Structure 1
């Protein structure tokens, strides 16, 4: 679920609890430490995180982002290349009910 604010994702998790297997958020590129199974059986995590270069600013070369922040001038953004990682969330669910029974997060490559 792509949303700007974490509160939007949390609200959607509660709204859909028991009606869907999972609500997994995205947008910030930073994995959150709040993965859990809600009381109705919906797995929830505010943000799964980014898969890409962690030696960066959300996947972009640091120097280019810093130049733009510090000068206010437009800058071409290029994908960074260092420290590749993959963020993921694994959900176990009951095959008969579709309800989540467990949720685990991973950050591979660190």
Structure 2
């Protein structure tokens, strides 16, 4: 909150662009550039299809990533999901492999 909030989310233009992206993505408005806000938990180059692991910010069109409370709820969900993955022996292997691939400059 003390680093990213002032550097990114307190910038009115950036916050507006993020809200416009969320609105367009959630309502399927064909902008050609709107994308789902998500945090990828594994390298999606090696973990594909139904096994790809990521945490979605929100499906709500008026969700606001610049709002610290909404963003922290997203971050905490992602942290819990990452922790759950690391406690499952098979998923842990996939996560570790993905981190290795990323560290080596892969996808």
Higher strand fraction: Structure 1 or Structure 2?
1
Structure scoring higher RCO (CA < 8 A, sep ≥ 6) equals 2
Give TM class, smaller chain.
Answer: under 0.3
> What TM-score do you get using the length of structure 2 for normalisation?
0.23
